[in-house]
Structure 1
Amino acid sequence: MRKLMLYFLVVLPSISLAEQPSCEDVSDLARDVMRNRQANIPMAEMMKATEGMPMVQSIIKEAYKIPRYGSEEFKRDAMTDFSNNWYMACLESGE
């Protein structure tokens, strides 16, 4: 939990304050949000930690629509798929 809060306090402000985060930043953020989702971090804690960051909260909301998995392999696949989906969405939004 300490790592989650550190991430939200240090990394996210730089992403949220940037005019246009890079697609790599979005992808990394999506992967980390899904990692926290798979680690059973409560959604309410993540939403509270990201108040005023609508893009980040959109990613969190989407992550919590995906089930938590028991197997480490399925968790890794969920993180990769979620990250790739957000990366693609970012790329397509720039076209």
Structure 2
Amino acid sequence: MKFKLFFLSFLALGCHADNNVSDPDICNVVKKVAYTVMEARQQKVPSQDLQQIANGLEDPEAKQLYQDLINSAYSAKVFRTSFFKKKAIEDFQTGWYEECLKRNKKNNIREGGVD
């Protein structure tokens, strides 16, 4: 699990830092990383394991995003049943994805890209 978590998080956040990635693609990356972070939370992976990944990120925006995801996920409850664990993961993922889309839409409007 630790390798999977490290690998997925590192790759996904590496994509976040790429300026050639379009806004919807960034939100898809956020969605995948949010899933992985909350999955780790529900499996009781220590937050220090995720913090080590965050500390290794060079891009300040990616690092801050990952820190925000960790803080948000680890403030949530760990559920006992697989049904509620899965629901918590999906709700967390959806929430972060929708927030990303909303922020990107605001940024596009501000920059004159969307009416």
Q: Structures share a fold, TM > 0.5?
A: yes
CA distance in structure 2 between the aligned counterparts of 1:9 and 1:28, rounded to whole angstroms: 12
CA distance in structure 2 between the aligned counterparts of 1:60 and 1:31, rounded to whole angstroms: 11
Q: What percentage of aligned pairs have identical amino acids? A: 26
Match of 1:37?
A: 41
Looking at both structures, which has the greater relative contact order when contacts are Cα pairs under 8 Å and sequence separation is at least 6? Answer: 1
CA distance in structure 2 between the aligned counterparts of 1:40 and 1:71, rounded to whole angstroms: 13
Match of 1:10?
A: 11
CA distance in structure 2 between the aligned counterparts of 1:13 and 1:26, rounded to whole angstroms: 11
In the TM superposition, what whole-angstrom CA distance separates every residue of 1:23-70 from its partner, at most 9, and x where no partner exists? 111111101110011111111110111114111111111000101111
After superposition, the Cα gap between the structure-2 partners of 1:44 and 1:90, relative to the gap in structure 1 and judged at 3 Å, is: same
Residues 38-77 of structure 1 aligned to structure 2 (within 5 Å): 38-51=42-55, 52=57, 53-77=63-87
After superposition, the Cα gap between the structure-2 partners of 1:6 and 1:94, relative to the gap in structure 1 and judged at 3 Å, is: closer
After superposition, the Cα gap between the structure-2 partners of 1:8 and 1:33, relative to the gap in structure 1 and judged at 3 Å, is: same
1:24 to 13, 16, 28: 28
Q: Unaligned stretches of 5+ in structure 2?
A: 58-62, 106-115
Residues 83-94 of structure 1 aligned to structure 2 (within 5 Å): 83-94=93-104
Match of 2:108?
A: none
- Supply the AA of the counterpart residue of 1:66: A
Q: Unaligned stretches of 5+ in structure 1?
A: none
- Supply the AA of the counterpart residue of 1:8: S
The Cα RMSD (Å) is 1.6
Range with bigger deviation, 20-29 or 77-86: 20-29
- Supply the AA of the counterpart residue of 1:12: L
TM-score relative to the length of structure 1: 0.87
